[in-house]
Structures are given as structure tokens and as C-alpha cells.
Amino acid sequence: MNPAGPYFIGFLLAVVLAYYLVPNRFRNHVISMASVGLLAWIDLWFAGAFLVVTLMNFSAAIWIDSKHQLKQRHQALLLSLLGNIALLVAIKHSNIFHRIGDLFSNWLGSPNPIPALNWILPLGFSYYMFQALGYQFEVYRKSHPAEKSLINFIAFLGFFPKIFAGPLERSTGFLPALKTPRVLEYDNFSHGFRLILWGVFKFIVISNWIGSIIETSYIPDSETSGLYMMLSMVLYTLQVYTEFSGYTDIALGSGRLFGFQLTQNFRQPFLAKSLSDFWRRWHISLSTWVMDYIYTPLSLWISLRISPRKWGIMASIFISFLLLGIWHGSSWNFVIFGMIQGSILAIEIISLRSRKKHLSNPLGRIAGHISTMAIFVVSAQFFKTNNYHETLNWFRKALDFSNSNSSLTFEYNQWPTYHLIAILIFFVFDQFVVRNNIEKWLDKRNAVLRWLFYSLLIYAIIAGTESSVQPLIYQGF
């Protein structure tokens, strides 16, 4: 199901209507039923997997909370985590063993004895699984008691606007919000629809325009020039951003319609001065989750055992981002992506002092921006292709400047040129004017200008592209 499509929007409006028609004490029931119902509508297996994870974690947290001694709580948490991780590996990473078997069998020249399992990954699996893991930690830490209402827990874990690709909500924020009475407020409606409109525009229009420009670069054996491929690489990163941030805006806007403020996932990522700064601006809910639940406990544990302390911190950051890479999938592509991120972040830690000196002057800051973007753009290529062989071949081709078709020409009156100009205008507007906060920007405009803006977006969505259909890149995780 396309989260920017008419079926989802229609479903959302129907649920919002039902939500405000029922008394407050039943509103979480509406959310829970709608969330499970949506998954079941798409595929019964998705609903089944979600309910298994929900029931498992609901019971496990109550069990953890019933233990009063630290050691017992610790053991209960460990068992709960092992159960979740086993499920995560079984469903999402079942083929990792097959791939390892492939490596050995290629080396030994014998057939791979480990069969490939072709599970269909349930929609939103990684997202609600991580939310569940975070929830277990918070119950263990006594940040809040275990949730006793299954309805509230289903609503927290499976709230349908965020089921496709996050944001990852913390139980410390969302569970209390579920218990707070929500009333129909005009501001929520207004801001909600603005966010949804802006998100749909980014998701359908900008992302599609970029896709139409770069698609030839990714056709195997195409005659595209190296320069065009380089441009495509940069544009692909922008496509990932517009699609993902567009979807996030739809999720945030939908949340506002129900009276919730979901977590902001992007904060001008293209203005990052370093890779660590970048991860504080990109997919914020995931990176902070990794920092809080993997990096922090891991670095505490390692630094007690390794000296000097900075090696422990470097190892922790490397492992954390390697796991972040693997979270996306068990393909070697994602492992390489994680390793690149982890390695660069580890280097940034040990070079922090010298970098601070350089970042204090304008040239240093520009160099920081460019190098950060270059690292992310190159590593994001590992998301585009099916395996690392394809990625390396793609780079080889892109760097082959002996290609006779090496000119980068655009006829001034061709559609790709208009789209490219529009994309650049959008990028400047989004990152420097709106600054990932369309609500605040629109609040400062008068009604006429707001409605002109809405009209432009609506027209572009309806008549500016030939197809709204594309697989949501981050939905696959």
C-alpha cells in the first residue's frame, strides 16, 4: 500500500472520523483496531507477525516488572531480548547463514548445504520490533511500569501512520500520550494536513522527478556517461531523502490528526558538518535509538574492560553502526554501509580536537559539509543496487572517464532540465528556508500566501507527475 496514495489517505480520514465520534475512553481501541486491521487488509501474515511480537513483548515486560531484585530483572530482560533477537534474526536475517555458507562453498568449490529461506518480511517489522526492544529496556530501567492495557500497547507498537517506516517512538513519550485525553483541536487538523500535503508532495512529485532523471544510470549495460552517473549518485541520495522525509511528514501529520506529536526524523541533514552531526539530523529516531540502547550500554561495558577509554568508545561506535547497517538488511551491501559509517564515526571521535579547530573557520566548515555529503552519498549507493558486486561495478563504470559519451548535456527546453531546476529550487527551499519545519514556516505566512502554496502543491501532486507509484525504499526495512 502506498502511504501517499488515495487508499491510505481515505483509510486515514475514515479512522479519524471514527476516532472523534467515539468517547475518549475508546479512542485507543479505534487506533488499535485500525492498525491491526490495516495490516490484515494488506496481508494476514503481516498482522499475524505483529500480534506475535506484541503479545510476546507485552507479557515479557509484565514479567520483568514483576521482578524486584536487580539480578532477576536483569535475567528476565536478557531472556526477553534473546527471544526478540531470535525472532528478528529468524524472520529478517534468516538468509545470513545461507550467505555465509555461500562464501565457504565458493571457496571450497562445493554446494552450499544451508538452504535459503524466502520469508516475506512483514510490513514495519524492524520498526515495531525495535520499539518493543526499547520498551523492554525502559521497563527494566523503571522509567515507567509495564503497560497493563493490551489495547494501549497495540496502539503504541502498531500505530498505523508510522507502521510503514517509522519514526521509532519511545515508550517513555508515546505511552503517556496514549493515556492523555485528546480532543478535537483546530490547530492539530490544520498542521496535520499541512504536513501530509508537504509530505505527499515530496514523496510523489520530487522523488518521482528525481527517479525519472536517474533511472537510465542504473540500467545494466546502459551507455550513460560517468559524469551523468556521478550526478545520479548525488540525486539518488536526494531521492532517498525526499521519499523518506516525505513519508515521515505524512506520518507526523497523520499523528497530529489524532492529537499526537510524533518524533521529528529529519533536521536539515544536508547542512551537517561531520558524519556524527549528520546522524543527529538524519533518521533521528533510529540513530538516537541506536545510541541510547546499543552504543551507550556497550561503550560503558567495553570501556571498563579496555584501556585507554577512547579505544572502547571507538569500538562501540563501530559495532553500533555496523548493527545499524545490518538492521537495514542482511545483504553485504548493508554490512558495508554500516562499516563505512562506523569507521568514519570512530575516526571522527579520535580527531575531534583537531576538527573543532578546522570547523571554527569558514573554509573548514565548507570542507566539513562537502566531505560529509561525499561520504554519505557514496555509502548510500550500497542501498541502490542488489549486492556489493553490482555496486562496485557501478562505481567502476562511473569512474571510467574514457567513456566517449562523457558529456553532460541538457537541452534547455527538455523536461529533465526543468525538473532538475525545480529539484534544486526545492532543495534550497527545504533545507535553507523551511528548515524541515513546514508548519512553522507556514504559520508565519498570511492566508493568501498559504493558500497559494497549498494550491501549487496540490496541482503538482495531481498533474505534475505521471505516476505516484514507487516502492518506498525504507519500507523494505
Q: Which residues bind other proteins (CB under 8 A)?
A: 2, 5-6, 184-186, 189-190, 204, 451, 454-455, 458-459, 461-463, 465-469
| CB closer to other proteins out of 2 and 391 | 2
Shortest approach of other proteins to residue 457 CB, angstroms? 11
Using the 8-state DSSP alphabet, how is residue 262 labeled? P
| Secondary structure string (H, E, C) spanning 180-221 | CCCCCCHHHHHHHHHHHHHHHHHHHHHHHHHHHHHHHHHCCC
Cell numbers for 112: 552450499
Shortest approach of other proteins to residue 461 CB, angstroms? 7
Q: How many CB atoms lie within 10 A of CB 390?
A: 16
| CB closer to other proteins out of 195 and 294 | 195
Quote helix, strand, coil % in the chain, to nearest 5. Answer: 75, 0, 25
| CB closer to other proteins out of 70 and 463 | 463
CA 372/CA 276 separation, integer angstroms: 9
Shortest approach of other proteins to residue 216 CB, angstroms? 19
Shortest approach of other proteins to residue 118 CB, angstroms? 14
CA 60/CA 153 separation, integer angstroms: 12
| CB closer to other proteins out of 350 and 462 | 462
Shortest approach of other proteins to residue 53 CB, angstroms? 26
| CB closer to other proteins out of 182 and 310 | 182
| CB closer to other proteins out of 196 and 284 | 196
Shortest approach of other proteins to residue 386 CB, angstroms? 17
| CB closer to other proteins out of 22 and 103 | 22
Helix axes 6-21, 226-257, angle to 10 degrees: 20
| CB closer to other proteins out of 190 and 288 | 190
Instruction: Please answer whether residues 294 and 307 qualify as being in contact, where contact means their C-beta atoms are separated by less than 8 angstroms.
Output: no
**Burial group, residue 71, by CB count within 10 angstroms (0-12, 13-18, 19+):** exposed
Shortest approach of other proteins to residue 208 CB, angstroms? 9
> Long-range CB contacts (< 8 A, 24+ apart) of 460-466?
460/201, 460/205, 461/197, 461/200, 461/201, 461/204, 461/205, 464/205, 465/204, 465/205, 465/208, 465/209, 466/208
Shortest approach of other proteins to residue 247 CB, angstroms? 16
